[in-house]
């Protein structure tokens, strides 16, 4: 066999063997390329349905950032894989949910920013013994979600929502920090879209007539609210006692802690 041909064949084999093949490998490659500012290369690892949006994002802004990948855990079922991705960025641990789909026998990043694939891996908050606290103020949680809903009825801007939450006295600093982290990370990954849903409602839409209380769990200071006109629409809210006053410490995808 021609020596040059043999070398070329070996080079092709080595090249193919280094391409990412599993959902975990594809997601690792995608996030690495994004963090290095190589958006065009990252776009090649996305599905056809989101290529246009991702291309628009990269055209408007493609900045690099320093990060260290902690873990990527994927749950694969046929041609779909839901992955929990965790990294350290700016000395802060961050987590995102990704959906990958198989197209033409290759795994592609199909959707990002929904953190719920990570919820099952969440660890309970340490240092709080909820059994010794008094009964949570469940009415506070109902009042919070309804007043937030009323505000969102006429204000869809993410920044205005965050400003309202800061001034509302309903939520803890931990809640605000987690929401700001989600928002900043979403804008970093996709400046064109950012968060493509409301993380408190865990949806883009919500009940028109507001919410009422469905159930409570004093052991975890958690409650479930459901839509008045949409009873299948449910949100978990977690409360925390702060200097004798109850506050919302988690709602929907924001600092959930408790496994759904």
Say which DSSP state 120 is in: G
Give residue 65's pLDDT.
81
Phi and psi at residue 44, to the nearest 5° = -65, -15
Which domains are seen in the chain, by residue range? 3-121 (3.10.450.50), 130-251 (3.10.450.50)
Interhelix angle 138-152/158-168, nearest 10 degrees:
150
- What pLDDT digit, counting tens, does each position of 86-140 carry? 888 777 777 777 888 888 889 998 776 555 556 554 443 433 343 334 678 999 9
Q: Which residues have a Cβ under 8 Å from the Cβ of 244 and sit 6 or more positions away?
A: none
Strands 80-89 and 106-112: unpaired
Global pTM exceeds 0.75 = no
pLDDT tens for 222-257 read 999 999 999 999 999 999 988 888 999 999 999 886
Per-residue pLDDT of 187-197, as tens digits, reads 877 777 777 88
β-bridge mates for residue 112, sequence order:
98
Stated as kind and residue range, the H or E segment containing 12 is helix 3-17
Tokens, residue 224? 């479930």
What is the structure's pLDDT at 192? 72
CA–CA separation, 94 and 39 (whole Å): 20
What pLDDT is stored for residue 129 in this prediction?
A: 40
Sheet holding 245-251, edge to edge: 211-217, 222-227, 234-242, 245-251
Average predicted confidence (pLDDT) for the chain: 80
Residue 190: Cβ-neighbour burial (10 angstroms; 0-12, 13-18, 19+): buried
């Amino acid at each position: 066999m021609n020596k040059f041909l043999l070398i070329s064949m070996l080079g092709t084999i080595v090249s193919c063997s280094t391409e990412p093949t599993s959902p975990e490998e594809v997601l690792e490659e995608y996030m690495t390329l994004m963090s290095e500012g190589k958006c065009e290369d990252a776009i090649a690892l996305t599905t056809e349905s989101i290529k246009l949006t991702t291309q628009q994002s990269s055209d408007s802004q493609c900045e690099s950032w320093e990060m260290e990948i902690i873990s990527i855990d994927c749950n694969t079922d046929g041609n779909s894989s839901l992955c929990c991705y965790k990294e350290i960025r700016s000395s802060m641990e961050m987590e995102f949910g990704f959906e990958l789909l198989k197209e033409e026998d290759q795994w592609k990043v199909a959707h990002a920013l929904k953190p719920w694939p990570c919820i099952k891996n969440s660890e309970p908050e340490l240092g709080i013994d909820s059994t010794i606290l008094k009964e949570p103020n469940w009415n506070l949680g109902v009042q919070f979600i309804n007043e937030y809903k009323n505000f969102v009825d006429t204000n869809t801007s993410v920044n205005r929502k965050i400003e309202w939450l800061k001034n509302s006295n309903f939520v803890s600093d931990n809640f605000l920090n987690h929401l700001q982290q989600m928002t900043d990370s979403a804008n970093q990954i996709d400046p064109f879209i950012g968060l493509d849903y409301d993380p408190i409602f865990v949806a883009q839409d919500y009940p028109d007539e507001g919410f009422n209380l469905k159930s409570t769990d004093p052991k975890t200071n958690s409650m479930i609210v459901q839509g008045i006109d949409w009873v299948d629409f449910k949100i978990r809210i977690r409360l925390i006692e702060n200097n004798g006053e109850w506050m919302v410490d988690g709602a929907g995808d924001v600092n959930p802690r408790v496994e759904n």
